[in-house]
Structure 1
């Protein structure tokens, strides 16, 4: 997923996709790289993971904290990604 600025601009009150299906997909990506570095919620400052992982599905690449942000903050995702996952 492209980095297009602050995550705060992608927070919406309600998402237009099946959140559970998207979360399952994001959490089950292929691990490409793992680093033993804590990951923090950039909004609250809370530690959310003790490692930093990069995942992929062969087309998109994302960090292991993306499912957290999707679940907690209703992050708006690219429509092309949603269509790929949900069909």
Structure 2
């Protein structure tokens, strides 16, 4: 199954060069259900583990902020540092993704619920 991608901003070393710009999704106030979104993102299943750490690309004085791992819920995939950016910069994420989380009652999948061997990034 081909995964949908969210949070692979072009400014990130592990982002998509053709992806959205991180700075254009920053907000000055929390988004609805932001705390639940952050917990969901943190609770994703490890799809690809990467060694090392990543720094804040919007504020180079803050480091490290996470890992370049890729997490998934079996439908979507996102970088391991996305929860940091949502918490720190109140990122606005795509409505389709937020609707998906709401449809799951903000409950990430449990280990064994998703067979990651059949997922494609």
Q: TM-score, normalised by structure 1?
A: 0.87
In structure 2, which of residues 34, 45, 66 is the aligned counterpart of residue 30 of structure 1? 45
CA deviations over 1:3-52 (Å, ceiling 9, x no partner): 43320000012344201110111000010111112211101122213x32
When Rg is computed on C-alpha atoms for both structures, the one with the higher figure is 2
The alignment covers a number of residue pairs equal to 86
Does the 8 Å contact 2:31/2:90 carry over to 1?
A: no
CA deviations over 1:33-80 (Å, ceiling 9, x no partner): 11112211101122213x321001111110111000000001000101
Higher share of residues assigned strand: 1
| Structure 1 spans left out of the alignment, 5+ residues | none
| Structure 2 spans left out of the alignment, 5+ residues | 1-5, 10-18, 104-121
Q: TM-score, normalised by structure 2?
A: 0.64
